[in-house]
Amino acid sequence: MTSDVPFESPHEGPESDVDPMVAAFRHDVHKLRGRSHDAAQEVFRDARVNESVPLGADGDAARLSRPKGAPDETVANHQSPRRLSLVTGGTAVASDRIRASDDAPLDWLVLSTDPEVLHSRWLTSEAAAAYNESVYYPYTSLRFHVLLVAALLDNYRAGHEFADLHLVATPSGPLPDEGRTAAAARGSDAVEPFRTVLWSPVMSLHVTGEPGDRPSAPLGSCPARSFADTWSRLSAHPFDQSCRRWRRLDAQLRRVRSWSTALAYIEDYVAVYGDGDAR
């Protein structure tokens, strides 16, 4: 298991050539730093960041979660990169938990040159969950956008086209002893590098061109805000339907069309209602 130090390979001067999978996890660093795309810097602590992602994976992932065309302001009083939670109605992560003034979480999410390490960190990072994809769509989640970009890119690089892809839903299994940490994600059978987009106690979700015989549903002919449709066509339920709180989550997910909003809803719902005696 790789240790979780921020930056394994010290460089002298900026990196020259970056693995496209690494670029996928670094392509929206300007959003974590509250900068516009145009004002984005190309280098962050010697790491190449804000590079465009090959094979159209970024644009396709954006279409899974946001409307096409020029963005519109949708929430009048929230011109902010902070994500709003559909579960609580407020900002998703309290300010004191993301330490916005301090770059430590950013180092952790950006500086590794091992793309599998970056995947495991984005999959488990609470700090990344604090940001939206676009100030115009504050209920979307930058964290799940980046994970969807990586999943699409990995599938495209393996020769799959978008129309071949499936959403796969699997039970997550017991909680690792150390909790859902990045290191635990890399050691977990429930997590597939790049293609797992959600690793939560209630289930894991994967985007893959190789669904096998797991519960799955096709993503459709082209990228669209289709989460509710894809979810409600899964070939089997991934979680215990006898439990009222999970039926409620299932019912809510049949309403949410934006992919990153829906994935964030699952995490927020599990955090608020997943433990204790809620039913």
Contact with other proteins (CB under 8 A) among 10, 13, 76, 159? 76
State the nearest-atom distance from the C-beta of 82 to other proteins, in Å. 13
Confirm or reject binding of residue 67 to other proteins (CB under 8 A).
yes
Instruction: Answer for the pair 152, 162: CB distance below 8 angstroms, yes or no.
Output: yes
Beta strands 204-208 and 196-199 are antiparallel
Confirm or reject binding of residue 279 to other proteins (CB under 8 A).
yes
Q: Among candidates 193, 59, 82, 80, which has minimal Cα distance to 130? A: 82
Confirm or reject binding of residue 57 to other proteins (CB under 8 A).
yes
Confirm or reject binding of residue 234 to other proteins (CB under 8 A).
yes
Residues 131-170 that bind other proteins (CB under 8 A): 137-139, 152, 156, 161-163
* Three-state DSSP state, 212: coil
CA angle 4, 8, 14 (to 5 degrees): 135
Between the alpha carbon of residue 20 and those of residues 27, 154, 218, the distances in Å are 10, 9, 25
Residues 171 and 35: their CA atoms lie apart, in Å, by 38
Closest to other proteins by CB, 97 or 255? 255
Confirm or reject binding of residue 247 to other proteins (CB under 8 A).
yes
H-helix segments, the chain = 20-26, 29-32, 57-65, 95-98, 104-110, 115-124, 142-157, 182-187, 227-231, 244-253, 259-273
Residues β-bridged to residue 199: 204
Residue window 6-35: x/- pattern of binding to other proteins, with contact defined by CB under 8 A:
------------------------------
CA angle 34, 185, 215 (to 5 degrees): 100
Residues 79-118 that bind other proteins (CB under 8 A): 84, 86-87, 89
Confirm or reject binding of residue 225 to other proteins (CB under 8 A).
yes
State the nearest-atom distance from the C-beta of 21 to other proteins, in Å. 17
- Binding residues for other proteins, rule: CB under 8 A, are 55-57, 59-60, 63, 67-68, 72, 74-77, 84, 86-87, 89, 137-139, 152, 156, 161-163, 215, 220-226, 228-229, 232-237, 241-242, 244-245, 247-248, 250-252, 254-258, 261-262, 265, 273, 276-279
